[in-house]
Amino acid sequence: MALVTMPFYQKRHKHFDQSYRNVQTRYLMNEYAAKMRASSQSSAQRSLTQKTSSQGGSSQASRSLEGTVCRLCAKRMSSEQEEREQESERRYQSLVASYGEAKRQRFLRELEELEGSVHLARAQAREKLDKYALEQMVEDQMAWERHAFEERMRRAPEILVRLRSHTIWERMSVKLCFTVQGFPTPVVQWYKDGSLICQAADPGKYRIESKYGVHTLEINRADFDDTATYTAVATNVHGQVSTNAAVVVKRFRGEEEPLRSVGLPIGMPLPSVIPYTHFDVQFLEKFGVTFRREGETVTLKCRVLVTPDLKRVQPRAEWYRDGVLLQESQWTQMFFGDGQACLSFSHLNKDDEGLYTLRIVSRGGVSDHSAYLFVRDADPLVTGAPGAPMDVRCHDANRDYVIVTWKPPNTTTEGAVIGYFIDRCEVGADNWVQCNDSPVKICKYPVTGLFEGRSYVFRVRAVNNAGISRPSRVSEAVTALDPADLNRFQTVHLEGDKDLVICQDDLEGDVLIPGPPTNVHASEISRNYVVLSWDPPVPRGRAPLTYFVEKSMVGSGSWQRVNAQTAVRSPRYAVFDLAEGKPYVFRVLSANKHGLSDPSEITSPIQAQDTTVIPSAPGKVVASRDTKTSVVVEWDRPKHGEDLLGYYVDCSVAGSNIWEACNHKPIGYNRFVVHGLTTGEQYVFRVKAVNAVGTSENSQESDAIKVQAALTVPSYPYGITLLNCDGHSMTLGWKVPRFSGGSAILGYFVDKREAQHKNWHEVNASPIKERILTVEGLTEGSLYEFKIAASNLVGIGQPSDPSELFKCEAWTAPEPGPAYDLTFCEVRDTSLVLLWKAPVYAGSSPVSGYLVDYKEEESEEWTAVSEATTANRYLKVCDLHQGKTYVFRVRALNASGVGKPSDASEPVLLEARPGTKEVSAGVDEQGDIYLSFDCPEMTDASAFTWCKSYEEIADDDKFRVETVGDHSKLYFKNPQKEDLGTYSVSVSDTDGVSSSFVLDEKELDRLMALSNEIKNPTIPLKSELAYEVLDKGQVRFWLQAQHLSPDAGFRFVINDQEVSDSEKHRIKCDKSTGIIEMVMDQFTAENEGTYTVQLHDGKAKSQSSLVLIGDAFKAILEEAEFQRKEFLRKQGPHFAEYLHWDVTEECEVRLVCKVANTKKETVFRWLKDDALYETEQLPDLERGVCELLIPKLSKKDHGEYKATLKDDRGQDVSTLEIAGKVYEDIILAMSRVCGASASPLKVLCTPEGIRLQCFMKYFTEEMRVNWYHKDAKIASSEHMRIGGSEEMAWLQICEPTEKDKGKYTFEIFDGKDNHQRSLDLSGQAFDEAFAEFQQLKAAAFAEKNRGKVIGGLPDVVTIMEGKTLNLTCTVFGNPDPEVVWFKNDKDIELNEHFSAKVEQAKYVSMSIKGVTAEDSGKYSINVKNKYGGEKIDVTVSVYKHGEEIPDVPPPQQATPKLIPASSSSPAQ
């Protein structure tokens, strides 16, 4: 059986792989191969035995005739024996072939059956999968439809038949029944006086049944204790309803019984209890004014100190909003304990805005604290939409009716509200239903269509032209029940303190049809609807009532039923759709299951109209000061203000006309404190009134008011210090009050008293302005104390606390006295500046310096700031700790030593104030240098104080101070080097606002330079003089100034000569843009030199120059010449983009160029090495892109490629040479495409060895490729040959061995990245490849050495009868083949007519002498050795003499037919 290799193009297809077969198929294939190997081995052994015996006999015969006959004669003598042997061989070969064919057919049949079963199994599996998918789809569809059906069926429980009350005698049984419907089926629970009834607790007493929606509670043998209110509650996931009835059990005997009453659902408030313990309550930390937004969370917290602290007894904490006591709810949580009281809001709404008050109540009294909570609107869902309404409440609830009211939002910046939408939702559900189809214009709406017994919550949304607001906070839940049902029970007092509860239905007798309603009237009238109210009929008819309302237009005489489609259960009904301006009369009929009553009395004429109108605008608005961030706004109430809900206050910065809402919930009083304002800013205010109909017009604006604290008397001075004493007088000093009261302090009053005296005596009758005073007329040796009061425009403030006792005795110490008036400024996070005043008592010699000490407030140890003394009366202390509190003291020293320390300063917290501003330096428009400082916290009493080296500036010759409002500037009149130093500024009557600025030499130089620029101005240039070469080769010189006035002038100067506007120099100036330009059409070598533009605009001047000499000029000249030529080139057909190359995805090289300005007559040609390059398609010049594809680029494509354009207007050429670096770059680009498309490595076995192949779109040997074996680079050799074709690269492993196992990697480099493909040729992969190589090698060897005809025989021979035919050919084989001639597939018997000979075992011929017609036929030569052979057929046609030569095709080389080697051949 010949070995045939599988072509590579088949190996590339996955369906030739055996991996697609299942396990059973692979098992059968393996079993079949094993059987085939066993049968082949047995048949080979039999054939070898037979061949050996036959060869032995023939060899003996040959030896006996050797030397007497030739080989041909020996064969002819033993022809009979050979015929027999050949016949037996043919029979054996035929049997072998038939057996093999039968096995092959059986195998193919079994394989076909197996494949059929596999296909059948696949089809069945696919059918099952499709069936499962279809079932799944049907189930999903049914589940969705079931869900949709259930959604349509879902509804909250609804009671169809309610419970009825019963009055029975003792020991009788009673059954309570009601009917309820809903989906899912409601769960029913029974309650007795609010307690759940349990059947197991009292077996036999109660019997509860549920069947078909009818639920019953049976009470067996009732006794007096069963008198109660029984309630049935039905619940499902969508809601809950309830119904109740009273059961009254009567007795025959009148024994004394305890007082019993029916438990009715009426709640009473618990009595207020005040703890009977005296507590002292102090607020340690208080909540302040708070600003939040809707949806946020906030906690109002106070830290309190309660004395005594009793664990079991505590005072009561109460929270109030706008004076209304608050209770815990889902929105608010309260906590009191552990020294704090908290009120937390989980989700803020504008309903929560208001004045909150915490009251701590005990027997000792009430301690309280109040602050305002502001809640702004959340961001709207739609830009411009209004804020949400608030304070949604429900009124007049009945069986199917409730009135919903709310308060409108404040629309300061948004569009006016045009209406409201009301939504309702059943308690327990989350689906909101809109109650009205069109917006309601007033803040009240009657909601009808409720289900009796169900609980509802409501919300409201506002609408304007921009959109719909966010919903309001939901209302409190309300149940649709008739409150009058509770009044239908009566209590009858019997003898012996007995009460009997009787329902009114028991007193009606046997009346079934109800009577007509009474007292029908309009309880509410508006322009859109009229609400009718009436009293239920008497009698009721012992059945649930419904009502029908009828209306009639006055004068029409006809009645129209209003609620024909829906029954009304409540004695209230809102009638809509009334004609505007028309009066109506109404009547009501009651009905139950027994019949319809007579109509009620007709109402008086009622006309739909608004009974409440929009209020008028509030009156005069007055704003007054309150604090630094708040203002008190008061206004007059509107003249027409009916049913006001409150007021909205708006504010605006004076002059901005931008209004902001101050409150977001209407306030009910005409005075409001507006918080959150900016200190020092001026505001105006306006007010509008609000009622249910809408908001009024805005009031007139108030006068502008600056936000500052209100004027008060100053606080008391402090820090009274004795500065000197001579035995008859004392010199005192003190510190300025912490608060001036908003007005400048006019002076101080000092009082004194001697120790042990009670009365105070004034020291000065008129106020003194200095904070130092010498008190005369004192008694030496006596002790005195002093107190001081400050006065301002408002009056005299409280006096200070009495000072310590000072002894009047003379100071004689040589050391100086204490420094005094220690103050701080520039307090920052880690530093401050300490200021003080020199001692009044200097000692024996002048003060030479000061020492500063500091310590933390709680520490006892003082630390010196520096060991060195300072001669200044100020010191900047650095490297302190942020957040720490420090105190300081100062000690003066002279030649005698260190004096007495000053009093300790007040504690100072190291923390920068929020919004701290610093001194800035600048130059004004006139060029004057200044220092500037702003202080928004200023009051009327505040003043700026500028200092140099912390000494107040008083030199008017060098400085000038200008202060406007909260802005102050210190100007330098003639700045010089002597002005260098530290400048500071402080603002009085503020919380220590101060700052400083160090003016050093560098900063002064900067300011002086800036001042010089302003005083001696120059024209600023956006760009200096520059040039550009235009398209036509023109040269444009231009510059741009930042600004030029209409009076500005300029000059263009070239090489010191001014040029003017001419044809040679075209000059123009655009003063609006500041651009000055000059264009030169002809730029030549004569134009080399310097170009200058001089500008002058008033006092300002400027100049800019450009030097074009040498290489710079040559570059411009060349560029101008190039642009001129380019312009001329582009007048005719030209290349917009010159010739360039790229590589396509198919690895073809594409030459591309873009053309422009072409026409039909334009001729485009491709040239290679100046020879015309023919292309299949002509370029499309209209598209503007010309392409030339070079497939499979190689070195033969080297050359110069040109693209030419030509017509009557001119021509253009673009050249690209593909060689050298360009060729290498193209190869790298092709490598990138090929590397990306490279296939995984494939194994191909050949007779020479194992070949590894990598297929790609294109491969050439110029590409940078490498092969690696076990990460070692492979060099091409006899054993490892590297090569490739156009479609693949390969590595040939010749005569592979075990050493050739391992990982092989193919790598192609694209100039940037390496593309690699790897294959592990080891293990089973190597074994299979090696076995296939051995088979192919053996087959190639057999093919090389088998017997074959290598030339000489034609396929057709035509010869005339009587001639001699000679057929000659050359044969080859190793060993020498045997040659046999056949005629018509039968052996030719050699004789004189047929003769054959073989010469040199190579040249074979056969002759036919005197051919006749019988010699026509097919002649065959059979050449064969042990490796096989071949057979060639020759057709011989004999024609008679005189006949026409037969028309046969010309002879051709005969085609051989392969003869396989015998089964005993070693090649097998």
pLDDT tens by residue, 244-272: 888 888 875 443 333 333 333 333 333 34
- The Cα–Cα gap between 873 and 1240 comes to 90
Reduced to 3 states, what is the DSSP secondary structure of residue 311? coil
Output the pLDDT for position 472: 94
Q: How far is CA 1385 from the centre of its chain?
A: 90
Q: How far is CA 1457 from the centre of its chain?
A: 78
- Is the distance from CB of 785 to CB of 721 less than 8 angstroms? no
- Is the distance from CB of 1265 to CB of 1314 less than 8 angstroms? no
Q: CA quadruple 281, 285, 288, 291: dihedral positive or negative?
A: negative
Question: Which residues in the chain show pLDDT less than 70?
Answer: 1-79, 144-154, 252-277, 364, 486-509, 1447-1454, 1462-1468
- Is the distance from CB of 1359 to CB of 1451 less than 8 angstroms? no
931, two tokens = 């220092």
Output the pLDDT for position 297: 93
- Is the distance from CB of 680 to CB of 966 less than 8 angstroms? yes
1118, two tokens = 């060349």
636, two tokens = 């007059």
Output the pLDDT for position 29: 59
Say whether the peptide bond before residue 1375 is cis (omega within 30 degrees of 0): yes
Let me know how many helices (H) and strands (E) the chain has, helices first.
Answer: 8, 98
CA distances from 385 to 375, 377, 405, 598, 1043 (A): 18, 11, 21, 51, 46
Q: How far is CA 275 from the centre of its chain?
A: 56
Q: CA quadruple 865, 868, 873, 874: dihedral positive or negative?
A: negative
Residues near 343 by Cβ (< 8 Å), separated by ≥ 6? 299, 300, 301, 319, 326, 332, 333, 334, 356, 358
- The Cα–Cα gap between 265 and 246 comes to 12
1049, two tokens = 């002038």
- Is the distance from CB of 1458 to CB of 1437 less than 8 angstroms? no
- The Cα–Cα gap between 1380 and 262 comes to 134
Give the chain's radius of gyration (CA, Å): 60
Output the pLDDT for position 489: 67
1258, two tokens = 């294109």
Strand 1249-1255 and strand 747-754: the pairing is unpaired
- Is the distance from CB of 787 to CB of 751 less than 8 angstroms? yes
Q: CA quadruple 1457, 1462, 1463, 1467: dihedral positive or negative?
A: negative
- The Cα–Cα gap between 1151 and 1134 comes to 17
Tell me the sheet residues that pair with 404. Answer: 394, 445
Full strand arrangement of the beta sheet holding 166-169 = 166-169, 239-250, 228-236, 187-192, 195-196
Closest CA to 341 of 304, 372, 289: 304
Question: Counting beta carbons within 10 angstroms of the beta carbon of residue 623, is it exposed (0 to 12), middle (13 to 18) or buried (19 or more)?
Answer: buried
Tell me the sheet residues that pair with 321. Answer: 324, 356
Closest CA to 941 of 781, 1103, 1096, 744: 744
712 torsion bin: left (phi>0), alpha (psi -120 to 50), beta (else): beta
- Is the distance from CB of 543 to CB of 593 less than 8 angstroms? yes
- Is the distance from CB of 410 to CB of 646 less than 8 angstroms? no
Reduced to 3 states, what is the DSSP secondary structure of residue 164? coil
Say whether the peptide bond before residue 1449 is cis (omega within 30 degrees of 0): no
Q: What are phi and psi of 1285, to 5 degrees?
A: -125, -175
Output the pLDDT for position 11: 37
Q: What are phi and psi of 1368, to 5 degrees?
A: -125, 140
DSSP string for residues in 1209-1268: TEEEEEEEEESHHHHHHHHHHHHHHHHHHPPPPEEEEETTEEEEEEE-S---TTSEEEEE
281, two tokens = 């309550």
Residue type, 696: S
Residues near 1382 by Cβ (< 8 Å), separated by ≥ 6? 1388, 1419, 1420, 1421, 1422
Q: What are phi and psi of 865, to 5 degrees?
A: -65, -40
CA distances from 772 to 625, 749, 1402 (A): 33, 11, 149
Q: How many residues are given for the chain? A: 1468
Which helix H or strand E contains 995, and what residues bound it?
strand 994-999
CA distances from 61 to 57, 67, 83, 1052, 1228 (A): 7, 12, 15, 129, 74
- The Cα–Cα gap between 1143 and 1218 comes to 13
5, two tokens = 């290799």
Output the pLDDT for position 270: 35
905, two tokens = 């300063």
Degrees to nearest 5, angle at CA 455 with 450 and 456: 70
- The Cα–Cα gap between 460 and 474 comes to 8
CA distances from 921 to 981, 998, 1412 (A): 13, 10, 137
Q: CA quadruple 933, 935, 939, 942: dihedral positive or negative?
A: negative
- The Cα–Cα gap between 647 and 669 comes to 8
Tell me the sheet residues that pair with 460. Answer: 422
CA distances from 1455 to 168, 381, 1359, 1438 (A): 126, 92, 21, 22
Reduced to 3 states, what is the DSSP secondary structure of residue 1016? coil
- Is the distance from CB of 1005 to CB of 977 less than 8 angstroms? no
- Is the distance from CB of 828 to CB of 912 less than 8 angstroms? yes
- Is the distance from CB of 333 to CB of 347 less than 8 angstroms? no
- The Cα–Cα gap between 171 and 253 comes to 13
178, two tokens = 């009601």
Which helix H or strand E contains 31, and what residues bound it?
helix 23-65
Q: Which residue do the tokens 């400024």 mark?
A: 825
E strand map for 692-735: 705-706, 718-725, 730-735
